[in-house]
Amino acid sequence: MLKVPDHQVAGHQAGDGKLGPLIDDSGHFYKPLQNDGRGSHELAFYTSFSTDTRIPDHIRKFFPVFYGTRHLEASDGSGLYPHLALEDTVSSRINPSVLDAKIGSRTWYPQAAEDYIIKCLKKDRETTSLELGFRVSGLRVYGNKETGFWKPDKKCVLNFSIEDTRLALRKFVSSNPSTDSDIKPDCSFASAVYGGPAGILAQLLKLKSWFEEQTIFHFYSCSVLMVYEKESILQGRNSGAEIKLVDFAHVIEGKGVIDHNFLGGLCSLIKLISDIVTSSA
């Protein structure tokens, strides 16, 4: 049975007659193909990437598994519509905490239309993208059965300053996330989620090593999705911390040149997370 994902924190979301992603009970995430050529471009990327032998296996795991396309009943009630069939990263988790970080100081790609470039430039300048090299696009953090999830609204997230971004990354691994500015995030899960040989920081560093060498693609307006499950930590199990790269509507050929735009933003994200791990040790 298809349903609207409640774990989605950014991007086009289904509901109120709007077209957006759907999930099923078998671990699939169905993303409707976007218009203006973006959907066909993303489909072409997934098709090419899934069979590209130049991608190392230890890097391929940072991308959702691609299962082709499906024509499904659209979430806006408009009838059958083509969707990308992808791996649902959080399907095995009960109450996952999720953070979406859009990487790059520049989210527009060189071949884009002028009006699109102007639109992206405006958002890059008004958010932390230009100054920090990435911006938080959305997050939700599980507290407990009583408090549920802390999820700041989209407008609040878009207005994040650099300091707000640091705070959000701290709240993401805290037992006391709250909108109350007087409550200091305890970062009690920082070592279990960000740190360790299998933590988010170690995964980001592996991704960074690849981006320091790969010249196959340039990733514009792509996000790093970070996921973990707090309840697993409290039960003495692995946090299930995992990262995935998502949103590939604006990927272009690298043509033998390193993707410094993405690499720079990734390094900035790594630096902030590394500071949290160090200060929480």
Span 153-179, average pLDDT: 91
Which positions ≥6 away from 271 have C-beta within 8 Å? none
Q: CA 162, CA 276: separation in Å to the nearest integer?
A: 14
Q: Indicate the average pLDDT of the chain.
A: 91
Q: What is the pLDDT of residues 54-76, one digit of tens each?
A: 999 999 999 999 999 999 988 88
Span 100-112, average pLDDT: 94
pLDDT number for residue 78: 82
pLDDT number for residue 135: 97
96-279 homologous superfamily = Inositol polyphosphate kinase (3.30.470.160)
pLDDT number for residue 44: 95
At 232, the pLDDT band (50, 70, 90 cuts) reads confident
User: What's the pTM value of the predicted model, to 2 decimals?
Assistant: 0.93
Give me the DSSP letters along 137-206.
EEEEEE--TTT-EE---HHHHHT--HHHHHHHHHHTT-S---S-TTSPP--TTHHHHTSSTTSHHHHHHH
Q: Do the beta carbons of residue 142 and residue 96 sit within 8 Å?
A: yes
The closest of 174, 187, 99, 169 to 143, measured between CA atoms, is 174
Span 140-166, average pLDDT: 90
pLDDT number for residue 93: 86
pLDDT number for residue 70: 93
Q: CA 151, CA 154: separation in Å to the nearest integer?
A: 9
Q: CA 265, CA 34: separation in Å to the nearest integer?
A: 25
Span 104-116, average pLDDT: 92
Residue 15 has pLDDT above 80, yes or no: no
Residue with tokens 């997370």, as numbered in its chain: 273
Q: Do the beta carbons of residue 174 and residue 185 sit within 8 Å?
A: yes
Residue 192 has pLDDT above 80, yes or no: yes
Residue-range domain boundaries for the chain: 2-87, 96-279
Distances (CA, A) of 130 to 109, 191, 227, 263: 15, 29, 25, 14
Among 9-13, 29-33, 193-197, 246-250, which is the least confidently predicted range?
Answer: 9-13
**3 state SS for 103-115:** ECCCCCCCCCCHH
